[in-house]
Amino acid sequence: MQKKRAVALQQEWGGKPCDHPAFAREYDLGARTGNFICTQCGKTVTFREKAEIVGARPPEDTAE
Ligand SMILES: [Zn+2]
C-alpha cells in the first residue's frame, strides 16, 4: 500500500480504536519502506510492531 493511501485511510478511520486485522507492505514512491500498514485504519507499524500485534493474538481456529 502506498504511504499516501495510508494517510487517507487514517483520516477516513478518524482515530477510532482498531485491532489491526490485516497488514499490507508500505510503499513510498514505489519502493518498499520495510514498514507495514493496517489495511483498516491506515496505521503504520514497523516489522517488529506488526509481529508483536500478530503474535499477541490467540491462535486462529484452523479446523475446517
Ligand atoms: Zn488498524
The number of distinct structural domains making up the chain is 1
pLDDT at res. 11: 97
62 part of a folded domain: no
pLDDT at res. 57: 82
C-alpha 7 to ligand 1 mean position (Å): 12
* Residue range 6-45, pLDDT digits in tens: 999 999 999 999 999 999 999 999 999 999 999 999 999 9
61 part of a folded domain: no
C-alpha 2 to ligand 1 mean position (Å): 16
Q: In sequence order, which residues have a C-beta less than 8 Å from that of residue 3 and are 6 or more positions away?
A: 26, 27, 28, 33, 37, 44
33 part of a folded domain: yes
pLDDT at res. 45: 97
pLDDT at res. 61: 67
C-alpha 41 to ligand 1 mean position (Å): 4
Here the cell at position 11 is 483520516
27 part of a folded domain: yes
23 part of a folded domain: yes
C-alpha 12 to ligand 1 mean position (Å): 12
Domain with 38 in it: 3-55
Tell me the average pLDDT across 51-56.
91
62 pLDDT tier (thresholds 50, 70, 90):
low
48 part of a folded domain: yes
50 part of a folded domain: yes
